[in-house]
Amino acid sequence: MSQAGPIVVIGSANMDLITRQPRLPEPGETMAGTGFATGAGGKGLNQAVAARRAGAVVEFGGAVGDDGFGRELRGFLEAEGIGTAALRTSAEPTGIAQVSVLDDGENSIVVVAGANGEAALAEADRAQIARASAVVLQLERPLGLVERALAAGRDAGALTVLTPAPVVAGAARLLPLVDILVPNASEALALSGEQDGEAAARRLSERAGTVIVTRGSRGALIARGGEIVDVVPARTVDAVDTTGAGDTFVGVLIAWLACGAGLPEAVEAATAGASLSVTRPGAAPAMPTRAEIEAVLG
């Protein structure tokens, strides 16, 4: 297993504040929850952890506050073996995500950006990108920063990867800079303007490189050049918590590609990794190791 350069994740780092509850409350209703926990999160941090646990060399660029949450997140990344030289300390507080996990394993999330709202692509970020094998981004950072990072990755000859979550106004202009686009089904519809998942995948792949639409229990669609080229089935598991499943998919996918796998093999590994993650509570803490994924793959 070899890797030409680090996977560089430029993205969000949040402290997740997680409640377990039977359902979402009605407006004005106070509900008794059944559990509470905190944990490292943010789509960028999650993807970095997933890629690192899947065996890749990973560096993280982002921002946290000068507060307890920020110090905890920095320590978490370093304990995972992820490079943090480009993780800045901001005057803004560390971002948080309030995650409601329902009894059926589904979730709803409210994010407060905090330090993640910093819009500058710093020199430390550019230095990381210049030697990266892949540059991985999401949309929990400002759109202009994401665009500059993708352009820098393209200039450096790195594989550029985008999870368009959450979909924001103007996000479609990023597509020509993206080698691999990984939306979920609702994000694909919102970004493409289509009403059907397959049509959305085809439309998006006319502007981006490869498009992989994750669809939960319905598996994933892969599109390229305006055509559906493969449909990958999901693995059947008993879901405990779906938080971070999509981020696990992306991190494992890019780790497998960076270590020399072809796309079909990488998507199969990503599907296995995501299936493992939903059987455990939490986001980053629930992500599987490479050995666990390989055991599932056989």
Q: Give catalytic residues, as residue numbers.
A: 247
Q: Answer yes or no: is 260 a known binding residue.
A: no
Q: Answer yes or no: is 70 a known binding residue.
A: no
Dihedral sign from CA coordinates of 107, 235, 208, 180: positive
Q: Answer yes or no: is 216 a known binding residue.
A: yes
Residue type present at position 194: E
Q: Answer yes or no: is 131 a known binding residue.
A: no
Q: Answer yes or no: is 153 a known binding residue.
A: no
- Residue 90 near residue 63, CB atoms below 8 Å: yes
The percent of the chain in helix, strand and coil, each rounded to the nearest 5, is: 40, 25, 35
Q: Answer yes or no: is 74 a known binding residue.
A: no
Distance CA 34, CA 22 (A): 8
Look up residue 186 and give its two tokens.
């609702």
Q: Answer yes or no: is 66 a known binding residue.
A: no
Q: Is 268 exposed, middle or buried (0-12, 13-18, 19+ CB in 10 A)?
A: buried
Q: Answer yes or no: is 83 a known binding residue.
A: no
Binding-site annotation: residue ranges for K(+): 241, 243, 277, 280, 282
User: Which residues are documented as binding site for ATP?
Assistant: 184, 214-219, 246-247
